Structure 1
């Protein structure tokens, strides 16, 4: 019987190493995707709050217009868990939008915490 050549001992090593690293690669991609969803949810909350506050400045029924605009400017997957609250004091309309951060897929299960977006706009004079 002859001794195995040096090249034969390493045969298949790359395959074994790749299979061992695959779960770590997948976990890293899942975490990166979740952070993208978190950032996107923050962006959506801020934009919806801006639009809600802006919509509440120009009409007489500020509360209804503000809340409607806040939800209208959200993608359908984020509308379900959205909470829009509006208020007015001292000539300033404020809007606060709270959104649930989805777990991996928008519209599916959400994390138990919410992200918030805040905005304010000066009330327009009506003649």
Structure 2
């Protein structure tokens, strides 16, 4: 006894071979973009953390009347360029640190953080 419907289903199934591989190849660029966006987000968080660390170190140095630029530079990881500017007077000093966000996929500019410390008299 022959089952023509079963034969037709089996023959159609052979034509679908490789479909999953083609769909995966089509989805692969989306996966890569999502992965790179995640890495870029991590770079943004890292730059913001480094700017905050530099601002606190610079504010501490400024409150003790030490070199703000040297304190900011030594507070961040090597390879990170930081610029610090101090302002204020009287009883407190504010230091603003700016760090360039590393470009992975997109150029997102700078991360800027400020810290204020009382002046040690």
Q: TM-score range by the shorter chain?
A: 0.7 to 0.9
5+ residue gaps in structure 1?
A: none
Structure 2, unpaired ranges of 5+: 1-6
Q: 1:9: Cα distance to partner?
A: 2.0
Larger radius of gyration: 2
Query: Which structure carries more helix by proportion?
Result: 2
SS for the counterpart of 1:102 is coil
1:2-81 correspondence runs (5 A): 5-59=11-65, 62=66, 65-79=67-81
- CA drift of 1:38 comes to 0.9
Aligned CA-pair RMSD? 2.1
Match of 2:89 in 1: 89
Runs of 4+ in 1 over 4 A off after TM superposition: none
Q: CA 1:41/1:72 → structure 2, altered by over 3 Å: closer, same or farther? A: same
Kept after mapping to 1: 8 A contact 2:55/2:95 = yes
Query: What is the match of residue 113 of structure 2?
Result: 117
Distance in 2 (CA, whole Å) between partners of 1:111 and 1:92 is 35
Count of aligned residue pairs for this structure pair: 114
